[in-house]
Structure formats: structure tokens, C-alpha cells
Amino acid sequence: MKTKENILLDIKDLHVWYRVYGGYLKVLNGVHLMVREGERVGLVGEAGCGKTTTMKSILQILPPGDFHIPQGQIFYKGQDVLKMSFKELQRLRSREIAMIFQDPTAALNPVFIIGTQIGDVIKYSSAFEENEHKEKIKEQSIKALKEVYLPDPERMRINYPFQLSGGMKQRVCIAMAISSPRNLLIADEPGTSLDVTIQDQIMRLLNEIVEKRKTSVILITHSLGVAKEMTDRIYVMYAGTIVETALPEVLFKNPVHPYTKGLLASVPKISGGGIAKGIPGKLPSYLNPPSGCRFQPRCEQEIPICSEKPPQLFEIEKDHLVACYLTQR
Amino acid sequence: MRNSNQPNNSIAISLLRPKSIFWLNLGKNWYKFSRNTLSIVGLVIVAGIIISAIFAPWITPYPKHAGPFVDFDNTGQPPSLQHLCGTDNMGRDIFSRIIFAFRGALIMAVVVLALAVPPGVLLGLIAGYFQNTWIDTVIMRITDVFLGVPPLILALAIAAMLKPTLMNAMIAVTVMWWPWYTRLVYGMASSVRNEYFVIAADLTGASKFHILFREILLNCLSPVFTKMALDVGWVILIGASLSFVGLGEQPPIPALGQMVSDGARYMPTFWWMTIFPALAIVLAILGFNLMGDGLRDMLETGRE
Amino acid sequence: MKQATNNEILKIEKLKKYFHIGKDKKGPIYVRAVDGVDLNIKYGETLGLVGESGSGKSTIAYTVVGMYRPTSGQIMFKGKNIGLEASRRSLSSKKEIQIVFQDPGSSLNPRQTIEQILALPFRIHTQTPKRQFREKMVELLEKVELSPDYLYKSPPSIGGGEKQMVAIARALASNPSLIVLDEPTSALDVSVQAKIINKLIDLQKEMHLTYLFITHDLSLMRNVANRIAIMYLGKICEVAEAVTFFEKPLHPYTQMLISSVPVISEEEEKLKPKKVISTGEIPSPVNIPPGCSFHLRCPYKMSICSKVDPEMIEVSPEHIVRCHLFAKLESKK
């Protein structure tokens, strides 16, 4: 897929801490992530590795008062999100970036009909231009519902969320996200709570929409198979750091970081052959994280420098970066 | 280096065995409680009330005024350094009497809750477990009957039927208090009983006793404790309402409501005779409420 | 003990489980969760049960374990009929059949310590004196690779994978013969899943266990099960040995599911059957269409499919399919 050089989103060295009993949970420890215009980027990692925290930082929707960003910058179209004013942030959330959440049931308000909810999104996303009339909003919401292939959009509009199945609700969430033109879509494990065939449909739909509109996408998933089929570039995240990033073909054929290798080995294959033993150990404590590479306590190939300071992302070939001292010799 | 939290010696482990999960997490629980400054304020107020009530004979300036005592030379004195809340129509120091009145109020709260909560919780637990059977219907409809009668009227009716003493006032309030706990626990028990860990216990052959008391009960108690803390304040209020109309503790033993009522006819000239006892009631309710909020933050937030 | 067939530990015959959910003009409405299922499990094997939500796989698991009473049909365990609710079953069948649930968060009591959680099956099913409890529990924890200090921890303070290991330890405590695993790793990460699955396989050999393994993850199933049964709307569509199931899937639904599995490597891509796009929503088990329940979504639908429900046909040894496409083959023989 073509990649224009225009960089839409550039997260540089992001550190995010949460305040808890006993100190700080130092969740993100220098995240680097970059999305170009029209690009589909996958963020792969296990539960608790910081993917959702990163996304929430982009939109600045972290729980207020309890978090602290000691260093890092998030550049969106050249402007640092962390320094934006409230109004600029509002504009960012309503016109530039849209997020599709994991659980569609939780993302929809149960006491309002679908029409109202999509209508609200449309209304607020154009609040900075003329006030749209009710009729126009209705039209636009029906158009959005049609785009996600929901049957009978006029009648769907007046339904409540509980009357819809999981797959339909997820389509509604996607419709809300695309109801007005956006530059970046963040999809947080869409379809994980749904059946495999429905998940397949949803992914297909997302792909179609993204191709048609040339929107950039950040797709968060813990399924490597989904990442392979739906992304142009993949970031692998572990314990709040990006450990490896590459194009999907390269990543799956030639993983370099020990964590990526371990992860790929753990994925069961339909060709059989058993599953590898997994990765020994478990996620480090964020309260007292290791002072060097965060994967070092579980790594079977560590060298002394690994416990001293965290490795930086290092380009080992074009578009393939790894954060590991083993590759930098 | 690998699994750093793994002592190898099992003898050492059994020595270190913590007694209960709550105490194990005491530091974390305190952190959750103290996030809100108001909860600490509440705790301070409550601690102040309890300590002064316990040590009343030793810390009040005029302990004898809380008994049969009159000093007609000193009646109606406004608040001053010698009498922080002034004196009443019999010359007694109001401040000391308030502290002694808290004794009765706290005793009543403790007794009422000790008597009302266990049966209430037990009934709610059983009704919740046997939801949608006749046991549920019988228990909950009886509870509904008690809840349907306006609480204060019920308490007044019972207290008026019996002789006016502190004990009888406590009985009256107890009778109207237990249904709230039944309803609270019923809601929790009926949902906890469908959790997989209860099903797992049942499938493996646990007795009903075990399921009720070892599996379900502990998961219903957090809101009960919070409610108990809040209720102390409300029992004090209901008790004061009863003593306001003369039921409950009889003079010369001081009771907050009685003091408010006695002082009412001297308003507004001798305002301190009513206002200070009334403020004491407000303070108590406020303190227990704030502390109760903190307790709720501590007990009921999802564990990390 | 009389046994139906010597090597079958569990034999399910014509099992039906209907849930009554109300009435309409025509009469009572039922959710036909399980609608006539025949299944057997051999000693020491892992039988995989696969299907989407609403297929009835969890209902079968729960009925085997005793959470539900069958509406009709029989469940024979080691030759004895156990088609009853748990409260009516003998203590020995409760000991012999255990279950591991999907969500580790809610299958362990958050207000108990691990020691208390494990003590329950010990107390009920073994004759171990109380003094030796702790020793035995430490042994059990070692079997699932958890250190002894876990005894004093409580579920909210340990991770999902570890909780699931505790759930497995609890299932092993009574020394069972059959363990039902209902999506045991669906809520977990892939590296944790690998650890648990490997442990389960080791334990099976070590303790001579039989597994009824339920999951929707086909790639996982391929590496875990000896035989696989796929269900749709309460009925079994196909049963085959694992290798055959993936190399020569016969039922259109099987093909549809396998073709939509997201895979990583090229070799797997080649293995997948031709892409069968699934259209429409999954119908609910309340409104099951007449004839073959799958015909509304089937790309190979024939006219008979909307009228007559197909029978199970044995296409080759250990490979049975329920589909009219193969009835023609049968009648040709």
C-alpha cells in the first residue's frame, strides 16, 4: 500500500504514570509510534501492556487527577496534543480523531435511540461550522448507517441498543465514528467480544471503509492474525514500551525481538504441531519496573547491559525497528 | 532475578500467614479511605465523639451536671469560657450534658444495630439465595410490610405502648430498622448466588450452609458495613426524635432530643439551650456520613 | 460396573435441553439450546466442541456437569445414567466430573484465600485429615506450577492466567476422571494460553484424565483435541478426528468457520478451504427454521434443505456429517 510521507500522528518518547497506593504505576516507558496519512497501523500487545493507555493519551481522556506525564510528546499534524488548550482538544476529538471501543454494549447509551446518538455525534462534530438542521442530521445518520450495511436504516434509527445484536451494535459504533469525515480512526479491539464470523464481517467492513476514505487507522488487537490481514505496519508493545515494529510480512517471517519471537511461537496454528511453551515469567510490576529493558527478567538471551538502561528503537533494516541490545552489537 | 517473590521455605510461609485479607491490605485500604479529605474529617469527628463519650466523667468540665443537680443561681448563662455552651434553665452546663447525652445516643446506636443487623442480614441472605421460591416471597413480603409503615410513626407507636425508658426506645427503633438490611442483602445475595464461584461450590457438593455463609455472605457485607456506619448517625437522629417527645431516656439523664425540646420554649432569648444540642445532633450525623462515604470508597471499589 | 461400550467414559444420547421462556398465541415458547445431540467421549481423549454463541456447546457442558437437568435424552457416565441436576447426583459423580469455567475472575470467590478455595473439594471428596491439608495443597499448586505462597493470596491480587491455574488446581483436587473445560483460555492472552494449554496436556497424561474441551478458537482446537465436534443451533453438524476435520471438512458450516480463521503463516493459508463468506446474522435458538437449521446461510442449499432435517451419516470411520449433500452419497452406495 502506498505511504505518503506526510506524518499524521507522531508519538515521541511518551511516559505515562498512574498515581496509586504505594507510588506510581509507571505504565508507559517511552512509547514511539507514528502514523502516516492513509496508513493502517496495528498495535499488538497483551493485556496490561499499555495499548489503551496510549490511545487514551492521544485523545487526552485519561482519568483526571490520577495520571502524570513526566515526559513525551504527541504530535498531531505537527501540534503537541499534550499542550493543547481545551478548545483545541475538543476540535481534535470531534473533527479529527474518532475512537471505536471494544465493547459496543458499553459504548452505547442504553436510554437513547440510535438515531439520537449518531445525531449527537454529527451535531457536535460540525459545531465549529454552521449549525446543521435536524433534517440534515437525520439524513447524514441514515447515510452512515447505510455505509455499515445495517439493514433498513430508517427503522434501525429508532431502535434502542438493547434491541440490536452485538454485531449490529458494533456496526453502529463504526457508523458513529465515520458519520463525519475524520483523519484518524482508532479501533480498540473491535469485534473481540463477538463471534468469529461476525468479527470477520466487522473487520472486512472496516477495511472497506478505510480503503474508500483513505482514513488512517490505528488498530489495537491482541490477535496477530487479524493484524496481519488488516494493517500496513505493526507495532509490538510490551510492558509500556514498543519492542519491535515492521511490515507484517517482515514481522511474521523474521521476528527479531525475543518477545515477538516468543509471542509468535505461542500462537496455535491450524496446521497443528502443538503450541510452544509460551514465555516464562509474567509482566513486570509497574510500581517497581526493571531499570533496564522491561523484558529482561523474562528474556533467555540477556546480556549485562540489558539490566542497566532501556534499549532504544534501532533500525536494523528499512522500516524494521527493534528495541534490543542483542541486535545492536 | 526470575520470580523474585518466591520464598522457598514453606515453614517460613506458615509463620508469616496473614490472618485476614482486610488486615493484609490495611495500608492500601487506608489509602483508599483517605483519598477524600472529607472522609478524614468525618473520621476525626466520629473519633472525637466516641472518645469524649467514653471518657465523659473524666474530661467534661462539670460531670455532676449530667445527673440530679441544680444551681438556680446560674440558670440561663450565655456561652462563656466557663460554660462553653452556656447553662440551661436548671443551671446545668450544657456542654457537659451534651457529651453525656452522646453516651446514651451511642449506646442506643450500638445496641440497635447489634440487634437489628444480624437478623436483617440473615433474612436477606436466605431470601436472596432462595429467590423465586416461597421462602423468598414470605420473607420479602413481611419485610415490605415493615418497610411500608413510616418508620418514625412505628417507633413512636411502639415506644408509646411500652414504658418510656432507654431500653424500650431501643426496642422500638430496632423493630423498624432490620428490614432495610434485609432488602440490602437480598439484592446482593440474589445476584451473588448466580456467580460462577457459587455454582462451582454447589457442583462440587458443598452444603447449603457452606454456600450461604462461606461463599455468599462475605461478598454481601461491604455495603452492610458502610450502611452501619451511616446508620449510627440516623439512629442518633431517630433516638433524638423519640426523646424530643419524651420517650426514651428520662430526666435527669440528658438526651439530645430532650435537651432540644426543653430549650425550645426559651427561644430566641436563650438560644443556646436549643441550638447547641441541635448542632450536636447535626455534627454526629455529619461525621458518620462523611466517614461512611470514606468507608464505602474503601470497601466497595473494585479491587485492583 | 456395566458399561455401554468398554472405552467410552461418557455417552450422550439424543440429548435435548429446552428452556421455557414464555408463551405466545400458539403455545409455550422454548429456546431449543440443545436439540437432539449424540456424542461420546473415550477414556483419555480430548473431545473438542466448537461452535458460535447460541450453538449450545456451553449448554451441553453445563448439563453434563449437572447445572441443568436434561429435557430428554440420556447421559451415561461410566455406564451410569447421570442425567440429573447436581443436587440429585451421587457424591461420587460430583467427584469424578469437574468443570473449569471461562472467566477466571468470577469462578473464584474474591473474598477467600486460595487455601480456602482449594480446601472445599479436599474436604468433601478426599479422606485426607485436616492436618495434611496444607501439604497436599502445596503439592497441588506445584502441579500447576504455582509457588506455595499462593495459598495465602486472594484472587483479586493475582493475574488472570494464575487464577485459571488455581481453577484447574481446584478441579484436580478431587481426583476426577473427566474435566469439562468451557473456553478456559478465551479470556487470556496468547502467551498465557500457551502455558496453560501445555500444562493441561501434561496433566492429562500424568493423571489419566479425559477432557471435554469447548472453545470457539479453531486454531487452538487443532492443537488440543483428538476429535472435534462442531455445533450449530443445538445440533451437531460434523464430528471428525482433528487432522481430518481441518484437511477435509465436509459440512458447509465447518468450511465457513475454518475459512474465516485469521492465520499468520503461508502454510496455514494454503491449508484453509476456499473462502466462504458468511452472510446475515446468527439466528437465535428461539426461531429455528424448518428443515436443516443452517440452510439460511448455506451456499450449497438445495430444495430439500428447507424441508427435511438431515440425518447423521458416517462418511468414513470416525467421520460423521449431518448434511443432505452427503445423503446422496449414502444412497448411492
pLDDT tens figures, A148-187? 888 888 888 888 998 888 888 988 999 999 888 889 999 9
Q: Do C109 and B210 touch (CB under 8 A)?
A: no
- A1 domain residue, yes or no: no
At CB < 8 A and 24+ separation, what contacts does C303-310 make? Answer: C309/C235
Q: Which chains touch B (3 or more CB pairs under 8 A)?
A: A, C
Instruction: Provide the number of structural domains found in chain C.
Output: 1
Residue A320 lies in a domain: yes
pLDDT in tens, C143-159: 999 988 899 888 988 88
Three-class secondary structure of residue C51 per DSSP: coil
Q: Tell me, yes or no, if C191 comes closer than 8 A to chain A by beta carbon.
A: yes
**CATH code of the domain in which C242 resides:** 3.40.50.300
| Tens digits of residue pLDDT in A93-149 | 888 899 998 888 888 999 999 988 988 888 887 754 555 577 888 888 888 888 888
Residue C1 in any domain: the answer is no
Task: Kindly state the average pLDDT of the residues A192-203.
Answer: 77
Rounded Cα distance between A28 and A13, Å, is 9
Shortest Cα distance, chain B CAs vs residue C141, angstroms? 13
Q: Are the Cβ atoms of B17 and C152 closer than 8 angstroms? A: yes
Contacts of A252 (CB under 8 A, 6+ apart): A224, A228, A264, C264, C265
- Residue range B24-300, CATH number: 1.10.3720.10
The set of residues, in sequence order, having a beta carbon less than 8 Å from that of A204 and lying 6+ positions away, is none
Say yes or no for a CB contact (<8 Å) between B219 and C109: yes
Q: Is residue A39 domain-resident? A: yes
Using 50 as the pLDDT threshold, list the residues of chain B that sit under it: 1-13, 15, 18, 303-304
CA distance C115 to C146: 13
Answer yes or no: is pLDDT of A270 > 80: yes
Residue A103 inside a domain? The answer is: yes
Q: What is the CATH number of the domain that holds A128?
A: 3.40.50.300
- Torsion on CA atoms B97, B102, B105, B106, rounded to nearest 10: -150
- CB contacts of B34 in chain A (<8 Å) are none
Q: Is C191 on the interface with B (CB under 8 A)?
A: no
CA–CA separation, A45 vs A15, rounded Å? 17
Of C52, C198, C267, the CB nearest to A275: C198
Residue A56 lies in a domain: yes
Say if the Cβ atoms of A20 and B3 lie within 8 Å: no
Domain that holds residue A81: 7-327
State the average pLDDT for chain A: 86
Reported pTM: 0.86
Domain count, chain A: 1
Query: Is residue A23 less than 8 Å (CB to CB) from chain B?
Result: no
Answer yes or no: is C3 within a domain: no
How close C96 comes to chain A (CA, Å)? 28
Tell me, what's the pLDDT at C48? Answer: 95
CB of B31 within 8 Å of a chain A CB? The answer is yes
pLDDT for B22: 64
Interface with B, mutate which of C58, C65, C142, C149 (most B CBs under 10 A): C149
Which residue in chain B has the smallest CA separation from C64? B203
- Whether A2 maps to a domain, the answer reads no
pLDDT at C4: 46
DSSP B81: S
ipTM above 0.85, yes or no: yes
Give the number of A-C residue pairs with CB atoms closer than 8 Å: 123
Query: Which residues sit opposite C239 in a β-bridge?
Result: C229, C320
Mean pLDDT of C265-273: 76
Range of the domain at C290: 8-332
**How is residue A80 written as a grid cell?**
503537541
Residues of C in contact with B300 (CB under 8 A): none
CB contact under 8 Å between A22 and B304, yes or no, is no
Whether chain A has a CB inside 8 Å of the CB on C241: the answer is no
Distance from CA of C282 to the nearest CA of B (A): 26
Q: Measure B109 CA to nearest chain C CA, in Å.
A: 28
Q: For the ranges A24-28, C49-53, C223-227, which has the lowest average pLDDT? A: C49-53
Q: How many CB pairs under 8 A join A and B?
A: 14
CA distance C216 to C230: 10
Instruction: Say what the pLDDT of residue C179 is.
Output: 96
Note the pLDDT of residue A160.
92
Taking contacts as CB-CB distances below 8 angstroms, the residues of chain A near B3 are: 281
Helices (H), chain A: 51-59, 86-91, 104-107, 114-125, 134-147, 153-157, 166-178, 196-213, 224-230, 248-253, 258-266
- A-facing residues of B in 32-61 (CB < 8 A) are 32
pLDDT score of B9: 46
Q: What is the pLDDT, as a whole number, of residue C2? A: 40
Place of cell 481534535: A92
> Under an 8 A CB cutoff, do A46 and C242 touch?
no
Q: pLDDT-based confidence at C305, cuts 50/70/90?
A: confident
